[in-house]
Amino acid sequence: METSNPPGAEDVETSVPEAPEPSGTVIDRSGHPISRRSVPENVLKVLYRLHRSGYRAYLCGGSVRDLLMNRTPKDFDVVTDAHPNEVRRLFRNSRIIGRRFRLVHIIFQDQVVEVATFRREPERAIVAPEDAESEDFLITDDNTFGSPLQDARRRDFTINALFYNIADFSVIDYVGGIEDLRAGRVRVIGDPDLRFREDPVRMMRAIEFASRLGFEIEEATYQGILRHRGDILKASPPRVSEEILELLRRGWSRGAIRLMVDTALLEPLLPEIYNAIRVDRVPYFWKMLEVLDRTVQAGRKVSDAVLLSVLMLPWVIEEIEEEEKRRAATGRMRIAEVILFIRELTQPLCARMALAAGTRHQIEQALETLWRLLEPPTERRAQFRAVYREPFNDALALLELYALSSGRYVDVFRQWQAFAQRVRRAQEEGEQVTKTTRRRRRRR
Ligand code: ATP
Ligand code: MG
């Protein structure tokens, strides 16, 4: 049941008498598969202490969704009706973070548990009807406490708005998330037009969740993306780039980029790349993402520079080929020319994506070195120099992905791979020799 006086009631507008809040569907312990055994001990400790101190304590967001699907959550977030200062007082090992919306981090030896206070949708700027297209829908103020229902409703998708209540081990559903989870649907909470305009990154998140969970995007949500895809340019570029990097890093890029092409959400964002890969112009690209997804899911570390270079590769290759055609009279471009060309081509895009200077440099280097590898030097010493250069590993990873998915340059890749292994082995043996001689010397 809702308390008549939700926390932060002083923040809630009082001019309109509030109707009693719907209480949400409660699925008791026997009706769902979430077991406390799959919740880390530290998280349970936090939930129990809040509960015993008289507060509500719920697990929320991705953790409830993933536990219901028998997946391992990335992190376990807690929500409560205790205010940040009250949470802070309950846990000595905690600190308040954030300026706009204050959260509490409870710090354990090997884990940080994040505790938030129920929040409601922030006030929206009053918008005159003729201004309905203006940007004033973007959320600017994010700091108002609310009730559990309000907290569920301000979340992005129904499947992300479920609560697990430590008081009785039930799941609370205010938004129809359980049904959507069962049906495998990503559905925006509330009016898609409004929710996508408030925060255009939600369009990317819808696509990301559909791809990673193998869900479909519910029709109104999908149509909303088609209508508002242009608004993605209003989102902050670093946040958008981080979303793109995340889906590459976590191994669900193929489905997600496919959906970003199908909905054309990618077009306003990265038109160069969109044009290069749309309507199956380069079949190897999708294969390459498939291989990449498998690689990172298997736990192999792939640098951000390689991930982003993969995305740029079909475009860069096409542009170089075009340029070579233009220069047909003078023959193929020399490597120095290719390098300059790549630099001038990719830098504006990297700047637009607001990538860190280091990442931009590494992308440039990875792509340049890839082109160097495609034409292996015949001279042995030059080969050694290539292997010892910093970006060699990135370029080799890129070449591997490209060769295995396009069927081109497979021999060149194998040659470099074998060569790099020989060099590495020789290096290790060299280190071994130095270590033993040092030891011998010390003994004497
Ligand atoms: P992951 O497993 O990738 O962490 P998640 O669902 O936990 O997935 P987070 O980005 O960690 O996603 O966000 C935690 C929760 O916060 C989400 O489940 C959702 O309820 C809410 N949330 C996150 N981003 C938004 C957003 N842009 N708009 C509304 N709610 C959001
Ligand atoms: Mg999360």
The whole-number pLDDT of residue 391 equals 86
Residues 198 and 314 occupy one common structural domain: no
3-state DSSP: the chain helix, strand, coil percent, rounded to 5?
60, 10, 30
295 in a structural domain: no
Which of the listed residues 157, 183, 209 is the one where a domain comes to its end? Answer: 183
156 carries an active-site annotation: yes
Residues 384 and 399 occupy one common structural domain: yes
Question: For residues 311 and 242, what is the distance between their CA atoms, to the nearest angstrom?
Answer: 14
Q: How far is the CA of 207 from the centre of ligand 1 (A)?
A: 13
Binding site membership of 202 for ligand 1 (Cβ less than 6 Å) = yes
Which of the listed residues 183, 207, 230 is the one where a domain comes to its end? Answer: 183
Question: For residues 349 and 316, what is the distance between their CA atoms, to the nearest angstrom?
Answer: 12
Residues 232 and 155 occupy one common structural domain: no
Neighbours of ion ligand 2 (CB under 5 A): 62, 75
Binding site membership of 201 for ligand 1 (Cβ less than 6 Å) = yes
The whole-number pLDDT of residue 87 equals 96
Q: Which residues of 44-82 are buried (b: 16+ CB within 10 A; e: fewer)?
A: bebbeebbeeebbbbbbbbbbbbbbeeeebeebbbbbbb
Binding site membership of 198 for ligand 1 (Cβ less than 6 Å) = no
Residues 210 and 166 occupy one common structural domain: no
Residues 140 and 222 occupy one common structural domain: no
442 in a structural domain: no
Other beta carbons within 10 Å of 179: 14
292, 249 contact by CB (below 8 A): no
Q: How far is the CA of 75 from the centre of ligand 1 (A)?
A: 11
328 in a structural domain: yes
From the list 66, 151, 156, 180, the catalytic residue is: 156
The whole-number pLDDT of residue 436 equals 61
Q: Nearest C-alpha to atom 21 of ligand 1 is from which residue?
A: 155
User: Can you tell me which residue has the tokens 């406390």?
Assistant: 36
145 is written with which tokens? 């406490």
Binding site membership of 160 for ligand 1 (Cβ less than 6 Å) = yes
Sign (positive or negative) of CA dihedral 267, 273, 276, 279: negative
Q: How far is the CA of 73 from the centre of ligand 2 (A)?
A: 8
User: Among the atoms of ligand 1, which is closest to the Cα of residue 195?
Assistant: 28
From the list 66, 77, 173, 180, the catalytic residue is: 77
Which of the listed residues 246, 269, 292 is the one where a domain comes to its end? Answer: 269
Residues 112 and 26 occupy one common structural domain: yes
**In this structure, what CATH number is given to the domain that contains residue 239?**
1.10.110.30
151, 162 contact by CB (below 8 A): no
Binding site membership of 195 for ligand 1 (Cβ less than 6 Å) = no
Binding site membership of 156 for ligand 1 (Cβ less than 6 Å) = yes
Binding site membership of 200 for ligand 1 (Cβ less than 6 Å) = no
262 carries an active-site annotation: no
Strand partners, 97: 103
User: Can you tell me which residue has the tokens 């981080």?
Assistant: 242
Query: Which structural domain range is residue 382 located in?
Result: 304-413
Question: For residues 253 and 261, what is the distance between their CA atoms, to the nearest angstrom?
Answer: 12
User: Among the atoms of ligand 1, which is closest to the Cα of residue 73?
Assistant: 2
pTM: 0.86
Tens of pLDDT, residue by residue, the chain (444 residues): 334 444 444 444 444 455 556 778 999 999 999 999 999 999 999 999 999 999 999 999 999 999 999 999 999 999 999 999 999 999 999 999 987 778 999 999 989 999 999 998 775 544 444 444 444 555 444 558 899 999 999 999 999 999 999 999 999 999 999 999 999 999 999 999 999 999 999 999 999 999 999 999 999 999 999 999 999 999 999 999 999 999 999 999 999 999 999 999 999 999 999 999 998 888 899 999 999 999 999 999 999 999 999 999 999 999 998 888 888 777 778 888 888 999 999 999 999 999 999 999 999 999 999 988 887 777 777 766 666 677 889 999 999 999 999 999 999 999 899 988 888 888 777 776 666 665 555 554
Residues 173 and 42 occupy one common structural domain: yes
374 in a structural domain: yes
**In this structure, what CATH number is given to the domain that contains residue 19?**
3.30.460.10
| Ligand lying closest to the C-alpha of residue 155 | 1
The whole-number pLDDT of residue 140 equals 46
277, 238 contact by CB (below 8 A): no
Residues 152 and 213 occupy one common structural domain: no
443 in a structural domain: no
- The total of structural domains in the chain comes to 3
Residues 140 and 230 occupy one common structural domain: no
75 is written with which tokens? 């992190």
Residues 178 and 192 occupy one common structural domain: no
| Ligand lying closest to the C-alpha of residue 240 | 1
Q: How many degrees, rounded to 5, is the angle at CA 156 between CA 119 and CA 173?
A: 75
383, 376 contact by CB (below 8 A): yes
Q: How far is the CA of 201 from the centre of ligand 2 (A)?
A: 15
Residues 126 and 225 occupy one common structural domain: no
Residues 120 and 6 occupy one common structural domain: yes
Question: For residues 47 and 167, what is the distance between their CA atoms, to the nearest angstrom?
Answer: 9
394 carries an active-site annotation: no
Binding site membership of 199 for ligand 1 (Cβ less than 6 Å) = yes
